[in-house]
């Protein structure tokens, strides 16, 4: 669900039954994850997402698409005097790489990362390097349009 701050299974513990009933090409999750945000929240989300990842790679016919949003927390915005454009340009790219790496380390292995657009080519290259790290060369990226 797009309005949630914390990832939850839409159908609770019955998520696998719903996936198999419809056989979607992709199972897409939309997740707000700030690696410098609330640690307990990130751990809860990572655990749920790891369950989904394991399920999808354990015999499901559906691929895993992960839409990552990295919203600023209050402290990050305060350091930038509330300037969201500065956050998007100067802070978010680094946090996106950290988020991808943290999620991978937690066992979350999407087939496709759907990521927010970035303004600088070097930042895009760093995100792709994170997505592909450790031999994940077959993992794809889709750029999410912003504004």
Cα(127)–Cα(115) distance, integer angstroms: 9
Residue 111's pLDDT is 98
Cα(33)–Cα(39) distance, integer angstroms: 10
Residue 2 lies in a domain: no
What value does the mean pLDDT take over residues 59-78? 94
Q: Of the ranges 3-7, 18-22, 39-43, 51-55, which one carries the lowest mean pLDDT score? A: 3-7
Residue 138 lies in a domain: yes
Q: What are the tens digits of pLDDT across the range 24-59?
A: 999 999 999 999 999 999 999 999 999 999 999 998
Residue 25 lies in a domain: yes
Residue 64 lies in a domain: yes
pTM comes to 0.93
Residue 1 lies in a domain: no
Total length of the chain = 147
Residue 9: pLDDT above 50? Answer: yes
Residue 33 is part of a domain; what is its CATH number? Answer: 3.20.20.70
Residue 2: pLDDT above 60? Answer: no
Cα(56)–Cα(36) distance, integer angstroms: 28
Residue 19 lies in a domain: yes
CA atoms within 13 A on the CB side of 79: 8
Give the domain range for residue 47.
Answer: 12-144
Q: What are the tens digits of pLDDT across the range 73-132?
A: 999 999 999 999 999 999 999 999 999 999 999 999 999 999 999 999 999 999 999 999
Decide if 64 contacts 26 (C-beta within 8 A). yes
How many domains does one find in the chain?
1
Residue 12's pLDDT is 78
Decide if 35 contacts 105 (C-beta within 8 A). no
What value does the mean pLDDT take over residues 62-73? 96
Residue 6 lies in a domain: no
Cα(101)–Cα(128) distance, integer angstroms: 11
Residue 104 lies in a domain: yes
Residue 147's pLDDT is 54
Query: Beta strands of 1-147 (E only): which ranges?
Result: 26-32, 63-69, 112-116, 140-144
* Confidence band, pLDDT 50/70/90 cuts, at residue 1: very low
Decide if 32 contacts 71 (C-beta within 8 A). yes
Query: Beta strands of 21-139 (E only): which ranges?
Result: 26-32, 63-69, 112-116
């Amino acid at each position: 669900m797009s309005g949630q701050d914390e990832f939850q299974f839409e159908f609770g513990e019955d998520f696998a039954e719903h996936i198999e009933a419809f056989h979607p090409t992709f199972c897409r999750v939309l997740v707000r994850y700030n690696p410098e945000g609330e640690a307990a929240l990130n751990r809860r989300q990572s655990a749920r997402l790891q369950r989904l990842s394991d399920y999808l790679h354990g015999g499901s016919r559906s691929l895993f698409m992960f839409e990552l949003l990295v919203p600023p927390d209050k402290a990050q915005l305060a350091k930038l005097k509330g300037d969201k454009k500065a956050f998007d340009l100067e802070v978010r790219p680094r946090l996106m790489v950290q988020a991808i790496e943290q999620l991978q380390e937690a066992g979350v292995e999407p087939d496709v990362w759907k990521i927010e657009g970035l303004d600088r080519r070097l930042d895009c290259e760093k995100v792709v390097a994170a997505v592909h790290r450790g031999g994940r060369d077959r993992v794809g990226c889709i750029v999410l349009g912003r504004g």
